[in-house]
Amino acid sequence: MTPRWLLTTLVFALPILVVAFGVVLGASSLAAGLGDASGSRGLFWFAMAALIFLVIDALLLIALLGIRALEEPPDGDSRHP
């Protein structure tokens, strides 16, 4: 059985990671426009790390929801009361 707190954490982390990715990538572009090459590069890699965490979060969420769906008995099945 999958714990409910884990699903809640993954669901709430998804929009947070999306916003973090967008904001940090925008800050990286802003730093590049201002001429700060090293700061832009650091922010870019921080945004890539947020993107990697976002993909991992989405894959874990899909897997856990699939496992949870398989654990529940099917509705309307008269063979299994």
What is the share, in percent, of the chain residues with pLDDT greater than 90? 79
Q: What is the pTM of this model?
A: 0.82
pLDDT of 39 above 80: yes
pLDDT of 24 above 90: yes
CB 57 within 8 A of CB 12: no
Average pLDDT, the chain: 91
For the segment 45-76, what is each residue's pLDDT rounded down to a tens digit? 999 999 999 999 999 999 999 999 888 777 76
Residues in the chain: 81
pLDDT at 77: 61
